[in-house]
Amino acid sequence: MEYSFAEMSAIHRQAVIDIFNYFIKESHAAFLGEAVAYPFFDQFLKMSHGYPALVVKAGRGHVVGFGFMRPHYIADSFERAAQVTYFILPEYTRQGLGTALLAFFVGEARKMRLDSLLASISSHNRESLDFHLKHGFRECARFPKVGRKFGEDVDAVWMQKQLE
């Protein structure tokens, strides 16, 4: 199957929120505990303003994932780092899409003269932790039991990739 990336825009609102809600309801990948309404999409656009935001399309344009970069912190003294977020439906993982999406973000981060990328990951999301380790991220912080989802305590794990 062929895949492509497109700049995330308002036309992707429903598909992106449907994917995000899948991860809210079915996994620890999204920290939220309750599904969100379609207007929540505007938060993604606002968070990623000035940074790349993409949808992943399969075949004839069916959106199967999305990702974006955003500032790590609002203070200008932290402009050296950005946070990455991505979600790809499970039936489309392990096909190189996450690797391609991350490679795009690394390239864009270098163009923006960023020094590092950060990812905040649930301790229960083993697949994401392994993915990030495989792609040069290292665990730099862990906040034990700061969350609770599906009746389980959740650690927030921060990972960092230094860009060269």
Q: Domain ranges for the chain, please list them.
A: 3-162
Give the number of other Cβ atoms within 10 Å of residue 34's Cβ.
7
pLDDT per position as a tens digit, 20-69: 999 999 999 999 999 999 999 999 999 999 999 999 999 888 999 999 99
Question: What is the pLDDT confidence band of residue 164, given thresholds at 50, 70 and 90?
Answer: confident
Predicted TM-score of the model (pTM): 0.95
Tens of pLDDT, residues 64-86: 999 999 999 989 999 999 999 99
CATH superfamily of 3-162: Gcn5-related N-acetyltransferase (GNAT) (3.40.630.30)
